[in-house]
Amino acid sequence: MVSIREVGPRDGFQNEPEVISTDDKVRLVEMLGRTGLRRLEVTSFVRPDVIPQLADGAEVLRRADIPDEVSVTVLIPNERGLDNALRLREAEGPGERRDLFQEVNLFLSASETHNRKNINRSIEESLSGLERVVARARGEGLRCEGVISVAFGCPYEGDVPRERVISIARRLVEAGCEEIAFGDTTGMANPAQVREFFEEADLPAELTAHFHNTRGQGLANVLAALDAGVRSFESSFGELGGCPVPKGATGNIASEDLVSMLHEMGYETGIDLERLLACACEVQSVLGRPLGSHVLTAGPVDWRRD
């Protein structure tokens, strides 16, 4: 079984130029929740003046009807973001309905320059802040995922030493993160590097690969990670999401391309590919322009077996 966390509603919508209406977001999140996906990153608690695309995150969470078996993740940038998230969760009142989210995603970069440009902190400052946030989140019964950006290469600094990435990951695990995701944020990774990275990475946590298809190597990197034993991935339906660096580049690998490849290889994901394609098709019509996903264009493989 391979686990896939759909990150399109957060990582994708955040990086699309258009502002998608709350109604459309709620409808798309509800459709995704019925594809068989078990992990869904719905939104983030960042400041609305920084990321206006996700300013309605709390409303989307409140309105979307997501099946209980789907674990909902929200991205938390810092302690104030956690305060806001907890306030919303409590505002629903105990016992009235399920918690609006079960997991939080906390992030930092593996290079000093990227971390400074992104969150204006040193790596050490980020880590000590995250240690506090993780402790509080765990105290509230939330599962914590630590995400390390530019883990395979940095557009500002170039090489990112593997030892540094692993030592950051170790700090996050010691702080209480049960899952660590390694992000190839600007698509610099290659399959040989990915295989070596995950063969060497030995951490007492679930290891997740978050690849971008910036240079068309996303699925090749997935295969390399699979060979090295990784069974958890993150992706975006419709290949949603760009990236500010390099300008105009594409973002995450497409969930439907990933699911199609895994199913064709004999891996189970629990996801209904046709339903996932319906979500990608729907978001394409909401955005009103063709998206980069291959399986959305070509359709699933048809072996004519029945």
Smallest distance from the beta carbon of 241 to Zn ion, in angstroms? 6
The SS3 assignment for 73 reads strand
Smallest distance from the beta carbon of 10 to Zn ion, in angstroms? 9
Q: Binding to Zn ion by residue 41, rule CB under 5 A?
A: no
Q: Interacting stretch for Zn ion, rule CB under 5 A, among 3-11, 13-21, 106-114, 256-264?
A: 3-11
Measured distance CA(256)–CA(37) in Å, rounded: 12
17 CB burial (10 A radius; 0-12, 13-18, 19+): exposed
Smallest distance from the beta carbon of 7 to Zn ion, in angstroms? 6
Q: How many residues belong to the site for Zn ion (CB under 5 A)?
A: 2
Q: Binding to Zn ion by residue 255, rule CB under 5 A?
A: no
Q: Interacting stretch for Zn ion, rule CB under 5 A, among 34-42, 51-59, 246-254, 272-280?
A: 246-254
Ranges within 101-130 binding Zn ion (CB under 5 A) = none
Smallest distance from the beta carbon of 209 to Zn ion, in angstroms? 11
Q: Interacting stretch for Zn ion, rule CB under 5 A, among 59-67, 194-202, 220-228, 249-257?
A: 249-257
Smallest distance from the beta carbon of 236 to Zn ion, in angstroms? 7
Q: Which is nearer to Zn ion, 176 or 251 (CB)?
A: 251
Q: Interacting stretch for Zn ion, rule CB under 5 A, among 48-56, 63-71, 186-194, 250-258?
A: 250-258
Q: Binding to Zn ion by residue 78, rule CB under 5 A?
A: no
Cis bond before residue 246 (omega within 30° of 0):
yes
Q: Binding to Zn ion by residue 44, rule CB under 5 A?
A: no
User: What's the number of CA atoms in the CB half-sphere (13 Å) around residue 303?
Assistant: 5
> In this structure, what are the phi and psi dihedrals at residue 50, rounded to the nearest 5 degrees?
-85, -45
Set 144, 243, 279, 281: catalytic member: 243
Smallest distance from the beta carbon of 11 to Zn ion, in angstroms? 4
Angle at CA 135, nearest 5°, toward 125 and 165? 45
Which one of 118, 252, 255, 284 is in contact with Zn ion (CB under 5 A)? 252
> In this structure, what are the phi and psi dihedrals at residue 304, rounded to the nearest 5 degrees?
55, 45
- Owner of token pair 């050490």: 124
Rg (CA), the chain: 18
Q: Which is nearer to Zn ion, 115 or 252 (CB)?
A: 252
Q: Binding to Zn ion by residue 11, rule CB under 5 A?
A: yes
Give yes or no: 243 in active site.
yes
Q: Which is nearer to Zn ion, 101 or 233 (CB)?
A: 233
Measured distance CA(46)–CA(183) in Å, rounded: 19
SS (H, E, C) 248-285: CEECECEHHHHHHHHHHHCCCCCCCHHHHHHHHHHHHH
Residue 193, Ramachandran bin (φ over 0: left; ψ between -120 and 50: alpha; else beta): alpha
DSSP 166-189: HHHHHHHHHHT-SEEEEEETTS--
Q: Interacting stretch for Zn ion, rule CB under 5 A, among 10-18, 81-89, 170-178, 297-305?
A: 10-18
Q: Which is nearer to Zn ion, 88 or 259 (CB)?
A: 259
Q: Which is nearer to Zn ion, 176 or 208 (CB)?
A: 208
Q: Which residues make up the interface to Zn ion (CB under 5 A)?
A: 11, 252
Active site residues: 243
